[in-house]
Structure 1
Amino acid sequence: MAPHPLSETPPQDFEAGINQLATVGRLLDHPELARVYVYVCYYGPVTRPQIKAALSIPKTTVYDHVETLETLGVITIEGTRPMEVTADPVRITTDGHVVTPTHLHAVALQEVDEDISYFVERHGVGKLAAAVRQAGLHYGDRTTQRMAADPLGISTGEAISIILALKPAIAAGREYDPYFDVIFPELADDIEFETDIDVTASLPNAE
C-alpha cells in the first residue's frame, strides 16, 4: 500500500504549514490586524510611528497589533530606536485555493470601505476571496462587472459594487504581492491600471 501523502511530509514542514494556516485564519478574522500586516508587508521596513500615521490608528493599537503579528511569526522587529518592522508575504493553499497578501488586503479594506464591510457581513470572507478572483478577471479585461454576478451567486448590483470596491486591492497586489501571479496565472500580466492611480494610496487608510 502506498504511504499516505501526509506521512511523507517532514514533521517540521507540516508544523510550519499548520502554524501559517492558523495565522492566516487569524488575519482573515481580524480586518484591522490584517490592515497593519498588509501595510508592513507592502511598504516595509517601516517604523511603528509610520504605521500610525499612514493608517490613522492609535499608537497603543499599533503597538498591540505589531506585537501580535510578531508573536504570529509574520513580522520581524529589528534595530534600535526607531525600530524597523518588516513582514514576510504569506501564501497558503488549501483544497486548491490560495490566500496571499492580495486577499488579506481585501479583508483589511473592511475597515475603510462600507461596500466591502457590507459584502462580508452578508456573504463572508470566502465569497470575498472569490470576488477578488472575479475582480482580477474584470481588470484583466476578461469579464465585465455584471458578468461577475453569476459565478459569485449575487445580484448584478452587488457584483458591480464589489468589483469597484476591490480595485485598490487588485492595484496594490499587482504592484506588491509576490504571489499575485499565483492568483491570476493566466492574466497577471494583463492587469493594468491607468497611470493616474497612486498605488501607494490604495492601501486601506483613513485619509
Structure 2
Amino acid sequence: MTPHPVSETPSQDLETGINQLATIGRLLDHPELARVYVYICYYGPVTRPEIKAALEIPKTIVYDHVETLETLGIVTLAGERPVEVTAEPVRITTDGTVVTPTILHAVALQEVDEDISYFVERHGVGKLAAAVRQAGLHYAGQITQRMAADPLEISTGEAVSIILALKPALAVGREYDPYFDVIFPEIADDIEFEGEFDVSTPRPNTD
C-alpha cells in the first residue's frame, strides 16, 4: 500500500489516498487491531484459531478484528475450513512520516507492554514513531539509549525504557517488514539482534 496508487483520474487518486490514510489511522488508534494485522502480515497465511492461540485473544474478538481488517481491504480470506487469512503490507508516507508494519507493531505492543502503553499515554503515537527511529539508531550502534532522550525531548529514564521496550518491534520488523529500510534507509543493514522474537513477544528477554 502506497500513497501514490496508479489510477485513472486525480479524483480516484485522492479517494484512494484518503482511504489509505483512514485505514492507517484506524490501526494507529486501535492497538489490538494493529496487533492482529501485524501478526497476519508477518506470518500469513494463518487461520483464525492460530491467531487466537498465538496472541491469546478471545475467539470472538479475533473474528471481529479479522472481519474489520477485511472490510478495510488489507486482509483477504481464502479457502474453506480452516479459512486462511493473509495481509497486504502497508506503507504510507505523508509529510515525511513513514508508517509500515514495524511502526504498527510498535503501536500494537501497547497491548502487552506497560512501558509502551505508558509512553503513548504520556507522549502520543507520534512520539512513539519517533522513538522507533531512535531505537533503530541505537541498535545499529550509532547512539546509546541515553542519547535518544534529547531528540525525543524526554527524560533519560524514559529513553532507556522505550528503546528497550521497542526491541521486539525492530527485531521482528528487521526480518519480516518489506519496508523496513524505508524507515531506516541508511542503517537497516546495521541493525542486528540476538535472541528469538515474534509478534507475540511482550518484551525482550535480554538487554
TM-score (norm 2): 0.92
Counterpart in 2 of 1:15?
15
Aligned pairs for 1:124-203 (under 5 A) are 124-194=124-194, 197-199=195-197, 202-203=198-199
Counterpart in 1 of 2:73?
73
Given residue 77 of structure 2, which amino acid in structure 1 is its aligned partner? Answer: I
Residue 152 of structure 1 and its aligned partner are, at CA, apart by: 0.2
TM-score (norm 1): 0.92
Aligned residues of 2:113 and 2:202 also touching (Cα < 8 A): no
Aligned residues of 2:39 and 2:51 also touching (Cα < 8 A): yes
Say whether 1:34 aligns with 2:34: yes
Aligned residues of 2:54 and 2:200 also touching (Cα < 8 A): no
Tell me: CA distance 1:127–1:9, structure 2 relative to 1, closer, same or farther (3 Å).
farther
Given residue 60 of structure 2, which amino acid in structure 1 is its aligned partner? Answer: T
Q: CA RMSD in A?
A: 1.5
Aligned residues of 1:110 and 1:117 also touching (Cα < 8 A): yes
Residue 206 of structure 1 and its aligned partner are, at CA, apart by: 6.6
Residue 16 of structure 1 and its aligned partner are, at CA, apart by: 1.6
Aligned residues of 2:168 and 2:201 also touching (Cα < 8 A): no
Aligned residues of 1:54 and 1:205 also touching (Cα < 8 A): no
Question: Which whole-Å CA distance do the structure 2 matches of 1:55 and 1:193 have between them?
Answer: 22
Question: Which whole-Å CA distance do the structure 2 matches of 1:132 and 1:96 have between them?
Answer: 15
Residue 11 of structure 1 and its aligned partner are, at CA, apart by: 2.6
Alignment partner of 2:168: what SS?
helix
- Unaligned 5+ runs, structure 1: 1-7
